[in-house]
Amino acid sequence: MTEAYATVVFLFVLFTLLGSSIWIGLALMGVAWVGMELFTVRPAGDAMITTIWTGASSWTLTALPLFIWMGEILYRTRLSQDMFRGLAPWMRWLPGGLLHTNIAGCTIFAAVSGSSAATLTTVGKMSIPELRKRGYPEYMIVGTLAGAATLGLMIPPSLTLIVYGVSINESIIKLFMAGIIPGLVLAALFMSYIVVWHFFRPDQRPEPEPGISFGTMLAESRFLIPVLCLVFAVIGSMYFGWATATEAAAVGVLGALVLAAFQRSLNFSTFFESLMGATRTSAMIALILMGAAFLSLSMGFTGLPRSLAAYIDGLNLSPITLIAALTVFYVILGMFLDGISSVVLTMAIVEPMIRQAGIDPIWFGIFIVVVVEMAQVTPPIGFNLFVLQGMTRHEIGYISKVALPMVALMLLMIVLLVAFPELATWLPDNIRQTR
């Protein structure tokens, strides 16, 4: 009875604070404070200070602002123009033509960004006008870009995976490695959708691109070399055990600064704007993590997570049934909260449940990222929808509709993860780690 009462109080205070437009981090702290005052005898202020300081002083967490800064630097360079110029000669030969630059561009930039919004903005500001100029259907331009941009959450360095790893105390490097193969598979599914469109809608194809020589294709590819080198430096250093996630992030920042200087787009204004952008985003995420840490402590005192995990265990649900229920739960939650908030808000309860069910937490991290990706393109709070609305001037409803096929492919990706868990677990089980 006490636990049921605690659940009602937690939910009531949480939705009241969120509904009053208070910052999510402060709302989580408010819920935790009420829980500490009502259900424990420990001083709430002392507990909050200790918990926040312990969580904020995590060395692993230092990778987060560095990866954010790396993405901010590259966002302000000519990377998108160079990527389109380097990718276009190779994509034009595929069924579906230059629409594939949306997928390939987002896949490459995701490997140096970690942010879905940064990936969408960087690739979209170049691909949208170019594809429109060539006569590609608007619904395919917008729909494929909306879905492909979510790869920024999956392919390392993923900010969501960093937050998830810190929340449940799992290896960030293993989570990064776990995201590579599923990210590439999801990108292949998106490209397959374009191929299917090409053959089933021949009347909507634009005029074929003029032919170019193989030598010209190779010459244009030189524009991809800098960003591919940066991808190898960041991901390769972690895979081969040369660097931790934090050290790889520092390498990425230095590489991004060198790349920006090489492109002659690095000046004091660019440097300052990237630094302030990274500071704002990092501070927002840090506040959410602080609130989540305090809420986890408060809920731990009530015994609610353990009781719920025991209740779920008593239902004797199979892991597949539990995953299906959590998929529905996170899709609904994602309609109202951003991805990082969804992760930190639920981990205190969900983590004991999945461990009790025998689900690999590394695998679950990839699952939750795919579900969070869907939340990025589902109304009413799909963040990518708002970014695309600002870029294309389309209504939210239109963007949501044209992105539905991509959401269906993400659901298919969940099925593939359940059927073939090795997609997420094989690489982290075989990586070389020196520390």
**Cβ atoms within 10 Å of 428's Cβ, excluding its own:** 24
Phi and psi torsions of 404, nearest 5°: -55, -40
Q: What percent of the chain has pLDDT over 70?
A: 87
pLDDT band at 434 (very low <50, low <70, confident <90, very high): very low
Q: Give dist(CA 293, CA 288) in Å, integer.
A: 9
Residue 243 predicted with pLDDT over 90: no
pLDDT tens, residue by residue, 3-42:
566 667 766 777 777 667 677 778 778 888 887 777 777 7
Q: Give dist(CA 394, CA 141) in Å, integer.
A: 12
Output 57 or 406, whichever has higher pLDDT.
406
Q: What Å distances lie between residue 219 and 63, 190, 216, 321, CA to CA?
A: 35, 27, 5, 52
pLDDT tens, residue by residue, 139-154:
999 999 988 888 888 8
- List the chain domain ranges: 2-430
Residue 244 predicted with pLDDT over 60: yes
Mean pLDDT of the region 40-54:
76
Output 290 or 354, whichever has higher pLDDT.
354
Residue 78 predicted with pLDDT over 70: yes
pLDDT of residue 70: 81
pTM of the model: 0.78
SS3 state of residue 379: coil
pLDDT of residue 12: 77
Q: Which residue pairs, CB below 8 angstroms and at least 24 apart, start in 140-143?
A: 140/99, 140/194, 140/197, 140/204, 140/402, 141/99, 141/102, 142/388, 142/392, 142/394, 142/398, 142/399, 142/402, 142/403, 143/402, 143/403, 143/404, 143/405, 143/406
pLDDT of residue 362: 93
pLDDT band at 1 (very low <50, low <70, confident <90, very high): very low
Residue 435 predicted with pLDDT over 60: no
pLDDT tens, residue by residue, 178-190:
999 999 999 999 9
Output 301 or 110, whichever has higher pLDDT.
110
pLDDT band at 361 (very low <50, low <70, confident <90, very high): very high
Let me know: does 388 contact 394? Beta carbons within 8 Å. yes
Output 366 or 233, whichever has higher pLDDT.
366
Mean pLDDT of the region 312-318:
70
> How many CA atoms lie within 13 Å of 160's alpha carbon, on the beta-carbon side?
31
In the chain, helix, strand, coil percent, each to 5?
A: 80, 0, 20
